[in-house]
């Protein structure tokens, strides 16, 4: 159960801004950490620095209290699933999976039959036993990804790094693998850091979420923390699907004005604010409603179990989710009400949270 | 549909017509000399021009000749030893330059210099360097206190001198191909191997070398074909001597055909060499093909085939695959 700490880590590749900028967080022993952020956020760079493949410019990374600086990648005992699989092209799937167990640093720790058992077991978990004698070039993308995952899970590393390990799987398999991954991680009790652009991975898996964007950690906390109490607009935007509504508003001593309506929330010094409200919290009606702003339906999408309705209100687009089956056609008039208790309020200029939605 | 077919056939015919000039050149400059050489090897053609078909007589003669057998053995020894040394040295240099962080381009250029000399110059320079009385190497041996080596008057030292000269000239070729191949290796599997616990020697032997296999085979193949035809350096440095102890097949053919005027026997010698080179090439090509196929990406058709062969997971039986429902 190794604790991972990252303190003030910065890496610049020569571009105008650092790929990873003054990043700090602590991942407790045996915890599942998820780094979530869009493409180019610096996730791979962070993982590479922890694995020892890229040296950080400044800052310190420790594992189990000891600094990793100066320890070569092969001596760190960290397993990693690479974004582009990085399978050994000249070795069969079986040999790929065996390699970490046969590597020089671990030579002699496992017997031949133990290695075979481990490989068989991992292959079964990942549903690839029938592929063991193929070469990586003979596999589909999703199959390669599973082999890559297997190569990391076959040993008992001190730390497991996963760089978008399941993004190339079909939706059904992705969900199964996600559950499976969580189960394996629990069973092994291995400290795990998982990088993904998919916010639902973060919410489903994480003990600790690091919201990364443009190299900076915008918030570090539990899934509930980052979802219920986003520290800033970036975090609010990253988590939640469909995306949170971020609407321009004004705040004064009497409350907040948004969509031309006065909402009795967050009294404070006058100034522009950004109001955030999750689509599920928006009240949508096809009839006029007290305290609601009038608008027009732009588009309705169904997700099966619910519909997402896009409503144009005074030039702003508001997303609202409604139970499936409520018919909304483009052009229909609609009324939108934002309940005061459900609003997040952010300072307009800095994006810092002033007030969070009340949890019921 | 006769019309499109005849059109296609007409197109074929045109193609052949358009291809005929290069084909004629090929016939004139490659096939004719080959056929002619084989014919000469089966006759008692001499430099005076008289000739008569004598079947395999020349072949019987050379196979029974100690000189030819010695030359043939030398040719094989030279080819194997020089190509192996060139490969090992070329690979070592490529790895060193690959790892070096500074002066890479200068090193690269410098290492290619020997290849730019003509073999005649190389032979002459190395003959001078090894000269027993005034050559710098003998002087160096003397200074360091090593015994004098009779470089050109005994078989082993003479062969060593030839090998050194040839290796000096052609190692750059290996270096160039292997260095380019190293540079184009995918880095991700090597990084993965490092994270998985491989380093240094293991990384090299378990991962880099297998991934370099196709490039290695290509370089070895090209060099081997050349090495079997070794002539200039030997001719200049030892002239095949002492006696015929460092002679090669090409050298032997040259002396027999152009010096002694026995063209038939010389042609038989070169034909023998051709056959050996052909066999060696075929074996190496086989290996190359095999190495390449192991790595090549399966094309889409193959990949689809592979997908269909997948053993369905028994636990997934509940959700019948969509395809079976359609059928
Ligand atoms: N070797 C490199 N040289 C120069 N710039 C780099 C290098 N590696 C990464 N970068 C830059 O650093 C930034 C972060 O890249 P990184 O690969 O860490 O993103 P990521 O979060 O993993 O994105 P993705 O989700 O697309 O994989 C990007 O702007 C990228 O262009
Ligand atoms: Mg990445």
Could you report the predicted ipTM of this complex, rounded to two decimals?
A: 0.82
CB contact under 8 A, A74 and B195: yes
CATH number of A4-238: 3.40.50.300
B193: chain A residues, CB-CB within 8 Å: 88, 99, 103
Q: Quick one: what percent of chain B has pLDDT higher than 90?
A: 23
**Å between A261 CA and nearest CA of chain B:** 50
Both structure tokens of A277: 């409200």
Q: Quick one: what percent of chain A has pLDDT higher than 90?
A: 50
Question: Does B302 touch chain A if contact means CB atoms closer than 8 Å?
Answer: yes
Kindly report, residue by residue over B7-40, the tens digit of the pLDDT: 555 557 787 788 888 888 888 888 888 888 888 8
Kindly report, residue by residue over A83-128, the tens digit of the pLDDT: 888 999 889 999 999 999 988 777 778 888 889 999 999 998 888 9
Question: Which protein residue's CA is at the shortest distance from atom 11 of ligand 1?
Answer: A19
Q: For the residues of B68-108, what is the DSSP string, one character each?
A: HHHHHHHHHHHHHHHHHHHHHHHHHHHHHHHH--SSHHHHH
Question: Which protein residue's CA is at the shortest distance from atom 30 of ligand 1?
Answer: A40
A88: chain B residues, CB-CB within 8 Å: 189, 192-193, 207
Measure A236 CA to ligand 1 centroid, in angstroms: 23
CA distances from A344 to A169, A292, A360 (A): 35, 18, 14
Both structure tokens of B174: 């290996």
Q: Can you tell me which residue has the tokens 């007589």?
A: B57
From B202, B303, B313, residue closest to A127, measured CB to CB: B313
Instruction: Report the candidate in A155, A196, A159 with the shortest Cα–Cα distance to residue A30.
Output: A159
Q: Is A53 in the pocket of ligand 1 (CB under 6 A)?
A: no
Backbone angles phi, psi at A50, to 5 degrees: -65, -40
Averaged pLDDT, B186-201: 89
**Å between B109 CA and nearest CA of chain A:** 29
Question: Does B116 touch chain A if contact means CB atoms closer than 8 Å?
Answer: no
B2 confidence band (pLDDT: 50, 70, 90): very low
Distance CA B215, CA B201 (A): 20
CA distances from A26 to A3, A5, A7, B194, B291 (A): 7, 4, 8, 25, 47
pLDDT for residue B294: 57
Backbone angles phi, psi at B89, to 5 degrees: -65, -45
Rounded to the nearest 10°, the torsion over CA A322, A328, A331, A337 is -30
pLDDT for residue B295: 52
Averaged pLDDT, A11-19: 90
A127: chain B residues, CB-CB within 8 Å: 313
Q: Is A19 in the pocket of ligand 1 (CB under 6 A)?
A: yes
Question: Does B60 touch chain A if contact means CB atoms closer than 8 Å?
Answer: no
Question: Does B310 touch chain A if contact means CB atoms closer than 8 Å?
Answer: yes
CA distances from A221 to A29, A196, A211, B45, B65 (A): 15, 16, 9, 94, 88
Backbone angles phi, psi at A76, to 5 degrees: -80, -20
Backbone angles phi, psi at A25, to 5 degrees: -165, 160
B297: chain A residues, CB-CB within 8 Å: 137
Measure A42 CA to ligand 2 centroid, in angstroms: 7
CB contact under 8 A, B195 and A138: no
| Atom number in ligand 1 closest to CA A20 | 14
Question: What is the CA A307 to chain-centroid distance, rounded?
Answer: 24
pLDDT for residue B173: 93
Strands A32-36 and A191-196: parallel
Both structure tokens of B103: 């002066």
Find the DSSP H helices in chain B. Answer: 2-26, 32-41, 57-64, 66-99, 104-116, 119-130, 136-144, 155-183, 187-195, 200-202, 209-227, 232-237, 249-254, 263-295, 300-309, 322-326
Q: Taking each helix axis as running N to C, give the angle between helix B119-130 and helix B155-183, from 0 to 180 degrees, rounded to the nearest 10.
A: 130
pLDDT for residue A84: 85
Q: Is A166 in the pocket of ligand 1 (CB under 6 A)?
A: no
Kindly report, residue by residue over A301-321, the tens digit of the pLDDT: 888 888 899 999 988 899 999
Kindly report, residue by residue over B265-309, the tens digit of the pLDDT: 888 899 999 999 999 889 888 887 776 665 554 333 344 444 433
Mean pLDDT of chain B: 81
Distance CA B179, CA B95 (A): 7
Q: Quick one: what percent of chain B has pLDDT higher than 70?
A: 85
Domain boundaries, chain B: 74-243
Q: What is the DSSP letter of A213?
A: E
CB A193 within 8 A of CB A201: no
Sequence-separated (6 or more) residues with CB below 8 Å from residue B173? B86, B90, B115, B219, B222, B223
B186: chain A residues, CB-CB within 8 Å: 86, 89
Report CA torsion sign: A221, A224, A229, A233: positive
CB B233 within 8 A of CB B123: yes
Strands A353-355 and A306-313: unpaired
CB A230 within 8 A of CB A240: no
Distance CA A160, CA A33 (A): 10
Please state, as a whole number, how many other Cβ atoms lie within 10 Å of the Cβ of residue B148.
Answer: 9
Per-window interface: B 203-232 vs A, CB < 8 A: 206-207, 210-211, 213
Beta-bridged to residue A317, according to DSSP, are A312
Q: Is A43 in the pocket of ligand 1 (CB under 6 A)?
A: yes
My answer on whether omega of the bond before A143 falls inside 30° of 0, hence cis, is: no
| Atom number in ligand 1 closest to CA A47 | 18
Q: What angle do CA A123, A75, A58 make, to 5 degrees?
A: 115
Distance CA A244, CA A230 (A): 11
**Å between B302 CA and nearest CA of chain A:** 8
- CATH architecture under which domain B74-243 falls: Orthogonal Bundle (1.10)
CB contact under 8 A, A130 and B198: no
Where is A163: in which H helix or E strand? strand A159-163
Determine the topology of domain A245-355 in CATH: OB fold (Dihydrolipoamide Acetyltransferase, E2P) (2.40.50)
CB A9 within 8 A of CB A45: no
Question: Does B195 touch chain A if contact means CB atoms closer than 8 Å?
Answer: yes
Distance CA B37, CA B55 (A): 13
pLDDT at A339 over 90: no
Q: For the residues of B184-235, what is the DSSP string, one character each?
A: TS-HHHHHHHHHTT--HHHIIIIIIHHHHHHHHHHHHHHHHHHHTT--HHHH
Distance CA B146, CA B15 (A): 68
Instruction: Report the candidate in A306, A293, A298 with the shortest Cα–Cα distance to residue A330.
Output: A298
Is residue A164 exposed (0-12), middle (13-18) or buried (19+ Cβ within 10 Å)?
buried
Q: Is A44 in the pocket of ligand 1 (CB under 6 A)?
A: yes
Kindly report, residue by residue over B46-77, the tens digit of the pLDDT: 777 777 888 888 888 888 888 889 999 999 99
Question: What is the CA A22 to chain-centroid distance, rounded?
Answer: 19
Mutation to test the B interface, candidates A47, A92, A99, most B Cβ within 10 Å: A99
pLDDT for residue B143: 84
Instruction: Report the candidate in A204, A131, A138, A134 with the shortest Cα–Cα distance to residue A166.
Output: A204
Measure A11 CA to ligand 1 centroid, in angstroms: 11
Question: Which protein residue's CA is at the shortest distance from atom 14 of ligand 1?
Answer: A42
- Dmax (CA) for chain B in angstroms is 91
Where is A5: in which H helix or E strand? strand A4-11
Measure A46 CA to ligand 2 centroid, in angstroms: 9
CB A3 within 8 A of CB A67: no
């Amino acid at each position: 159960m190794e604790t991972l700490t990252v303190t003030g880590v910065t890496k610049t590749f020569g571009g105008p801004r650092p790929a990873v900028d003054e990043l700090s967080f602590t991942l407790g022993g045996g915890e599942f950490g998820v780094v979530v952020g869009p493409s180019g956020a610096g996730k791979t760079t962070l993982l590479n620095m922890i694995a020892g493949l890229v040296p950080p410019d400044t800052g310190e990374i420790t594992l189990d209290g000891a600094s990793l600086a100066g320890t070569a990648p092969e001596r760190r005992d960290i397993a990693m699933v690479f974004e582009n699989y990085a399978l050994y092209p000249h070795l069969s799937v079986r040999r790929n999976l065996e390699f970490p167990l046969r590597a020089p640093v671990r030579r002699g720790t496992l017997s031949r039959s133990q290695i075979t058992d481990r490989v068989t077991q991992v292959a079964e978990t990942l549903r690839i036993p029938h592929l063991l004698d193929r070469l990586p070039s003979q596999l589909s993308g999703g199959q390669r990804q599973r082999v890559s995952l297997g190569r990391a899970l076959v040993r008992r590393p001190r730390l497991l790094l996963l760089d978008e390990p399941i993004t190339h799987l079909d939706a059904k398999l992705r969900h199964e693998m996600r559950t499976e991954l969580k189960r394996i991680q629990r069973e092994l009790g291995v400290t795990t850091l998982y990088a993904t652009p998919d916010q639902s991975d973060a919410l489903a898996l994480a003990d600790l979420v690091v919201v990364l964007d443009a190299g900076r950690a915008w918030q570090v906390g539990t899934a509930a923390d980052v979802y219920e109490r986003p520290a800033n607009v970036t975090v609010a935007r990253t988590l939640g699907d469909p995306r949170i509504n971020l609407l321009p508003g004004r705040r004064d001593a009497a409350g907040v004005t948004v969509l031309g309506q006065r909402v009795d929330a967050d009294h404070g010094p006058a100034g522009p604010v950004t109001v955030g409200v999750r689509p599920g919290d928006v009240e949508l009606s096809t009839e006029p409603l007290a305290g609601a702003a009038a608008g027009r339906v732009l588009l309705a999408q169904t997700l099966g179990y619910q519909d997402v309705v896009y409503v144009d209100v005074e030039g702003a687009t508001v997303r609202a989710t409604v139970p499936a089956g409520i018919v909304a056609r483009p052009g229909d008039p609609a009324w939108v009400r934002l309940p005061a208790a459900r609003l997040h309020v952010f300072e307009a200029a800095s994006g810092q949270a002033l007030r969070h939605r009340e949890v019921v | 549909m006769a019309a499109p077919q005849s059109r296609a056939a007409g197109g074929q015919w045109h193609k052949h017509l358009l291809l005929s000039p290069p084909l004629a050149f090929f016939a004139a400059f490659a096939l004719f000399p080959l056929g002619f050489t084989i014919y000469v090897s089966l006759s008692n053609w001499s430099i005076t021009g008289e000739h008569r078909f004598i079947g395999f007589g020349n072949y019987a003669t050379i196979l029974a000749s100690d000189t030819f057998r010695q030359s043939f053995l030398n040719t094989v020894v030279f080819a194997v030893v020089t190509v192996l040394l060139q490969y090992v040295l070329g690979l070592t240099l490529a790895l060193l330059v690959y790892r070096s962080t500074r002066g890479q381009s200068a090193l690269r250029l410098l290492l290619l210099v020997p290849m730019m000399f003509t073999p005649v110059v190389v032979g002459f320079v190395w003959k001078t360097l090894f000269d027993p009385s005034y050559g710098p190497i003998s002087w160096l041996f003397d200074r360091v206190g090593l015994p004098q080596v009779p470089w050109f008057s005994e078989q082993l030292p003479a062969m060593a001198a030839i090998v050194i000269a040839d290796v000096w000239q052609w190692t750059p070729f290996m270096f160039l191909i292997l260095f380019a191949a190293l540079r184009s290796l995918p880095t991700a599997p090597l990084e993965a191997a490092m994270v998985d616990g491989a380093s240094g020697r293991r990384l090299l032997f378990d991962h880099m070398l297998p991934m370099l296999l196709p490039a290695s085979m290509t370089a070895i193949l090209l060099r081997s074909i050349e090495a079997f035809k070794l002539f200039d350096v030997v001719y200049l440095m030892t002239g095949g001597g002492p006696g015929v102890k460092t002679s090669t097949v090409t050298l032997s053919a040259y002396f027999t055909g152009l010096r002694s005027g026995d063209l038939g026997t010389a042609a038989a010698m070169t034909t023998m060499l051709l056959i050996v080179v052909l066999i060696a090439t075929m074996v190496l090509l086989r290996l190359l093909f095999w190495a390449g196929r192991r790595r090549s990406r399966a094309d889409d058709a193959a990949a689809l085939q592979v997908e269909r062969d997948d053993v369905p997971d028994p636990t997934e039986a509940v959700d019948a695959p969509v395809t079976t429902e359609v059928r």
